[in-house]
Amino acid sequence: MERISLDGKWQFKALNAYGTLPHDKRGVAQWMEGAVPGTVHTDLLANNQIPDPFYRMNENDVQWVDSQRWVYRRRFVVPPDFLGHDAVNLVAEGLDTYAQVFLNGKKLAQTSNMFVQHRFDVKAFLQSGENTIEVIFDSPLIRSKSFEKNYPRLSVSHESHRVYVRKAQYAFGWDWGPKLATSGIWRPIYLEGSSLARLFDPFVKVILSRNREAVVECSVGVGRFRKAVFDVCVQVVGADISIERESRVVRNVAKFTLRIPHPRLWWPNGYGDQPMYTATFTLLHKGRVLDATEIRFAIRRIRLLQEKGRGGKSFVFEINGRKVFCKGSDWIPCDSFLPRISDSIYEHLLRMAKDAHMNMIRVWGGGIYERDIFYDLCDRLGLMVWQDFMYACGEYPEEPWFLEQVKDEGEKIVKRLRNHPSVVLWCGNNECEWLFCKENPGKSPDDMSGATIFREILPKICKLHDGTRPYWRSSKHVAGGAPCEIVQWARTSSS
């Protein structure tokens, strides 16, 4: 596999498609220099076109930004041999949010979800030598309000139109932060060339974990571009082990069941160490290496104990057979402008959490699915992660087009995060059901629009694509409403 990064310097400008650009801001309709990854707000700041929104009342003076359409463009060179790959994809790790992508003047695709990776076949659009890419971002404000006009009004805290957009919900304003609805290429973007086949979605699933032996199932998907015979080799390495197996690819997947003697178990902060293992998958064709991917994983058993008592049911995490007293914090994004958050900031904040004797971080459902470094650090520091799906404080539409987005997002996110031992719980949403029942006395969470997402779609996705940790329907738990019960697929044998 070969990559060409498209990060770095781009050009951008406003299109003034709606005629709402303030007269004194007409200069932003001329090309300016921008940065990728980035946001339109940070690019405007760098070009002295807006004041710092976090200073005094400047937030009010930049509200015109999210009502505009913005275009980003870049010229780049493709070497002749790069087009010799069987497959050439444009991979965008994050487009915020309603984007149309053009290559050499031809429309390639359009997107509507900032949370997930987008992958497009672009071989027919590229040419040897210089190429041009343009990405046009529609106004998130205008698009979301146009959706709301076409459907019944939902019960939503803050700006009600936000629930129609698969975008960080805090961007439309929250009790803790400003209203700064961003647009832009907010995560890396690159070209990827592959020949014959490529690997995707590696997974190490702990089937059984005892002190004397662990059983893990290693699997990886294989995307074929030609009819051929492929083999996959997996090597699992730990502090005192190295296990290697090779298998023929069958039906576009390779699976291995491995036994790890005397495994070193992963523990939360304060309960033990956090030993990690490495699994390396290598794709082979006639002995030639075509692709390779590496993941870090750990061995630990997790259960969520729901034991009946005088006050109701308990809510206790059990790790490796030991009940854990959870101490932690709610995690919101560190900055409204996400690309400004450096690796050092993540490390500083999470190490502070560990040093304060915390052992759990809840990723709040009104923010984002965090960057890989966040989860890597939680793995290393022993910080358990309560992972919300990104739905917060409101009903959500159940229109077919929206539910398709829900399914696509859920599958991609679960596959992306499932190898992290720190993730101990999938949670459907933040306070959606509590808010609905509070505002609609006598009704149950099953009566709210969006209940299908949290009662049916997300738990099925978690079971199908993970199955190693529990799913909880909503935070907060709604007492007296329809049961928000834990689904304990993750229960494993104890030693």
Catalytic center residues: 431
SS (H, E, C) 312-343: EECCEEEECCEEECCCEEEECCCCCCHHHCCH
- What span, in angstroms and rounded, lies between the C-alpha atoms of 32 and 44? 9
**Neighbouring residues of 345: CB distance < 8 A, sequence distance ≥ 6:** 334
Asked whether the bond before 97 is cis by omega within 30 degrees of 0, the reply is: yes
Q: Which two tokens stand for residue 450?
A: 């969006």
Query: Do residues 394 and 370 make contact, with C-beta atoms less than 8 angstroms apart?
Result: no
Residue whose C-alpha is closest to residue 192's, from 295, 318, 89: 89
- What span, in angstroms and rounded, lies between the C-alpha atoms of 378 and 419? 12
Query: Do residues 487 and 471 make contact, with C-beta atoms less than 8 angstroms apart?
Result: yes
Q: Which two tokens stand for residue 96?
A: 């915020």
Q: Which two tokens stand for residue 145?
A: 């309000």
Q: Which helix (H) or strand (E) holds 373?
A: helix 372-381
Strands 106-112 and 197-209: unpaired
Asked whether the bond before 412 is cis by omega within 30 degrees of 0, the reply is: no
Residue whose C-alpha is closest to residue 89's, from 225, 292, 261: 225
Q: Following DSSP, what letter does each residue of 42-88 receive, concatenated?
A: HHHHHTTSS--TTSTTGGGGGTTGGGS-EEEEEEEEE-GGGGGSSEE
**Neighbouring residues of 183: CB distance < 8 A, sequence distance ≥ 6:** 39, 40, 66, 70, 96, 97, 137, 139, 140
